[in-house]
Structure 1
Amino acid sequence: MKKYYLTAMMGLLCMFALAACSADEDTDNGEQAEEAQSQESEENETEAGETGDNVEETESDSDLITESEFGDQLDLQIGDTGQVQTNLDAFEVTLESVRKETELDGEQAELDFFLIADITLTNISDDVIDADSAKGTLEMTGMLDGSGFSDLSEHGYEGVEGVEGELAPGESTEGQFVVQIMESDKYYMRIIGGLIAAGGVLNDVRWTFTESEIE
């Protein structure tokens, strides 16, 4: 009889053990399934995000202009209009006149004198452009192989009006481009060379004038 009870108890214990193992296994399998599903969901979201970024970058890259509609214009003079093509837009610059001053608003030129160029800037692209950014592609120098000087009109000199504001397609604005410069036989207004090298501006434009042409 005792043997019978012992056998029955052993059988029940085995059944409980098997049931517990089965429950643990089901729990582990459920947790593993949830983790796998969560990981797969995260991977899908990441891939979707990366795909979206790639699409956005591709669309942004496709907006860039890679070839100029205009050739290089390196023989311009005072009174001439140059056409500039950047990788985003296009505009015209006319060098109307140039004068020099040894001081502006009582400020003595640290170099030989100030050059003040009157320019007209016209938006010839299909989009609105920033006139100040367009003007920022230009510099003046007295040495063709040397570095150039950027515009100082934002310093607020009396009687000097900078070229700024937004220009709609076909719209123009006038203003002054001011630099301090050393005396030279010839002077140049040109596109900043680094912008051409970097592909920001796609064609080279340069005006040349002499001392006798300066007012």
Structure 2
Amino acid sequence: MKRLTLILTALLISTFILAGCSDDKDETKESDNNVVNEENNDGKDNEDDSDKSASEITTEDQLDLTLGDTGKFDTTLGTYEMTVESAELLEELDGEESQFDYLILINLSIKNTSDHDLDVEDLMYSMEVTEMIDGSGFSDQSHVFESVEELTGVIKPGEEISGQFISDIYESDEYYFRERSGNVAAGGSNQVIWTIPADEAK
């Protein structure tokens, strides 16, 4: 009888121990699942944040602007307005001759219409000038010339700054100042193009 009681007691103790271990495992699994779910939710939150930060381009292209006109840019960097005030064709500047036929010097201003700061150099990096509407363009070289008013720094919301863009260019009857076509093709901006007749670039 004693032996039977001992066996039953041992079985009961074993059962309690196994049940306890099982509960611990369930708690561990539940805890692990919570961690996984939290990580998944964090991932979704991060995805939502990145979706919010990717600007949707809604502003229409402006393809027929002329000197004095203001173009509206809607880009992944933010929104801003640019006014091309005047342009000038030069054979040389600061003792530097053009590598092609002319240097084209463009006077412009930029106004930040976003709700956050904009880096002007990023905006100017996306601009180019070309004599062929379907061809590639040339970027700003204002940092090379001492007398050119380079556009740099940060523009705060609502602020406006003025400066200059300069680049080598081939001789042509007209020139096009625009957002880089590659940036537009990649969905980084709407397209904005100014047509500058050679006889107005004086």
TM-score category, normalised to shorter length: 0.7 to 0.9
**Could you say what secondary structure the match of 2:56 adopts?**
coil
Identity across the alignment (%): 36
Amino acid at match of 1:134: L
Give the AA of the match of 1:51. N
Task: With the length of structure 2 as denominator, give the TM-score of the two structures.
Answer: 0.81
Native 8 Å contact 2:77 2:118 kept in 1: no
Q: Using the alignment, how far apart are the partners of 2:132 and 2:69 within structure 1?
A: 21
| Count of residues in correspondence between the two structures | 202
Residue of structure 1 in register with 2:191 after alignment: 204
Match 2:163 to one of 153, 170, 175: 175
Match of 1:166 in 2: 154
TM superposition shift of 1:152: 1.9
How far 1:57 sits from its partner (Å)?
2.2
1:5 match: none
What is the TM-score when the length of structure 1 is the normalising length? 0.77
* Aligned partner letter, 2:167: V
Q: Considering only aligned residues, what root-mean-square deviation do their CA atoms show, in Å? A: 2.9
Amino acid at match of 1:116: L
Q: Deviations over 1:120-177 (max 9, x none)?
A: 1111233322222222332111111101112122x34211122122222221101111
Match of 2:114 in 1: 125
Larger radius of gyration: 1
**How is 1:47-196 mapped onto 2 (pairs within 5 angstroms)?**
47-68=37-58, 70-153=59-142, 155-196=143-184
For structure 1, the 5+ residue unaligned runs are 1-7
Separation in structure 2 between the aligned mates of residue 33 and residue 135 of structure 1, nearest angstrom: 64
Equivalence for 1:38: 28
Equivalent position SS for 1:56: helix
> Which whole-Å CA distance do the structure 2 matches of 1:33 and 1:214 have between them?
83
Structure 2 gap segments, 5+ residues each: none
CA distance in 2, matches of 1:44, 1:194: 45
Identify which range, 55-64 or 80-89, moves more after superposition: 55-64
Separation of aligned partners in 2, 1:184 and 1:38: 75
SS in 2 for 1:66: coil
Residue 23 of structure 1: CA displacement?
Answer: 6.9
Change in Cα spacing, 1:26 to 1:204, as seen in structure 2 (3 Å) is same
Distance 1:102 1:35 in 2: 81
